[in-house]
Amino acid sequence: MRTLVVYSSRTGNTKKVADAIYEVMPEGSKIAPVKDDPSFEDYDFVALGFWVDKGLPDKKAQEYIRMIKGKKVGLFMTLGADPDSEHANDCMKRAEVMVRSDNDLIGHFISQGKVAPKLIKMFEKLPPDHPHSLTPERVALHERASTHPDQEDLRNAGDAFKDMLAKM
């Protein structure tokens, strides 16, 4: 089975996860950043990764998701929030809705990742009543996120995509 791993990465988090997924893919697979607009035509399975921007896949990943047609697809994403949170699940659901109906969505994987320092600086300027203001809880979340994706996350990503391949 020919597999294409495509990713969009802002801080390097999603690229790390993409590399871990690529390592478990069968021979003949390819990995490429979404900015290169790789053709998916010659592949049976497309593993598409993105970083979350305002609750959605980043813009380049959104465009690519909507282009894929007639393929088996697996999604993976990174975000600063806890991967088991309602927010993370809502973000993935929004991405899954973007997958065209003529594709077969096989599964997904969510990983926590460090928050871009530039974004944290922006959060520092927000008023205390804003949902993204830097409260002590949010600072603690960013500190936890700064250690991800870790080796366990990368191993779990590889395992999740091995399981997707086994389903096909």
Q: What is the CATH number of the domain that holds 87?
A: 3.40.50.360
pLDDT tens digit sequence for 72-116: 999 999 999 899 999 999 999 999 999 999 999 999 999 999 988
Give me the pLDDT at residue 126, please. Answer: 86
Structure tokens at 63: 């465009």
Structure tokens at 105: 């969505």
What's the predicted TM-score (pTM) here?
A: 0.92
| 91 in the same domain as 154 | yes
Give me the pLDDT at residue 139, please. Answer: 83
Give me the pLDDT at residue 18, please. Answer: 98
| 158 in the same domain as 122 | no
Give me the pLDDT at residue 132, please. Answer: 78
| 93 in the same domain as 12 | yes
Give me the pLDDT at residue 137, please. Answer: 85
Which regions of the chain are under pLDDT 50?
Answer: none
**Which of 102, 97, 107 is CA-nearest to residue 21?**
107
Range of the domain at 121: 114-147
